[in-house]
Structure 1
């Protein structure tokens, strides 16, 4: 798998998203992507209780630990490389989480417009 260039949505070098919990399609702590990443795990999101409940409701339970996959389960405040489509869906439903633009891969822009991401940027 060939990683795409590690550039964020601001045109700068991609910053890490989280190593605790370890996130990313490559589980390298960054929202790197490649052609095989069909979910586009490119948005560095800060989890909220509202978003975690929404994600579980639509069929992707991110809060329940799955030890078999070394997945601790997410809690509010955790940073996670979220699928760009799921982020846009949550935005449309009014429950999108905050976003770290410095750690959000430029490929997210193929799905989520920058003006939408800007609405949720963390300081």
Structure 2
């Protein structure tokens, strides 16, 4: 990010914190759930993935557990932190499968799709 760009904010209105680097996550693969106009999926929700969500995501056609070496993707396991598309998280919420989120690492753009109260209700334990 260069000096001309503004610091991204989280859903609480504070500077966006890192989501996770092991494995490296984010639209920019920099550990942050910051996005830009090219990110049509809006990968802005920092989740602590669990078995329930990983199984749900796979059933929806997005297998996050199988390694894909061509994309330097090791596959996720429960407990990993991962930037999830806002619409996918909301869909998982509506189906009772939403994983916990790290509010301080969710970009504020997620609020265009997900009400803050839903995210707060699923906040991961600190």
Specify the TM-score bucket, using the shorter chain as the normaliser: over 0.9
Give the Cα separation in 1 of the matches to 2:6 and 2:59.
Answer: 32
Name the structure 1 match of 2:68. Answer: 66
Name the structure 1 match of 2:20. Answer: 18
Native 8 Å contact 1:62 1:74 kept in 2: yes
Secondary structure of the 1:99 match is coil
Secondary structure of the 1:96 match is coil
Q: Runs in 1 of length 4+ with deviation above 4 angstroms?
A: 2-5
Question: TM-score, normalization: structure 2?
Answer: 0.94
Name the structure 2 match of 1:33. Answer: 35
Task: Output one character per residue of 1:22-75: Cα deviation in whole Å (capped at 9) or x when no partner.
Answer: 000000100011000000000000000000000000000001000010000000
Secondary structure of the 2:83 match is strand
Question: TM-score, normalization: structure 1?
Answer: 0.96
Q: 1 or 2, which has the higher strand percentage?
A: 1
Q: Which runs of 5+ in 1 are unaligned?
A: none
**CA shift in 2, pair 1:108/1:90, >3 Å:** same
Q: Calculate the aligned-residue CA RMSD, in Å.
A: 1.5
Native 8 Å contact 1:4 1:33 kept in 2: no
The number of equivalent residue pairs is: 123
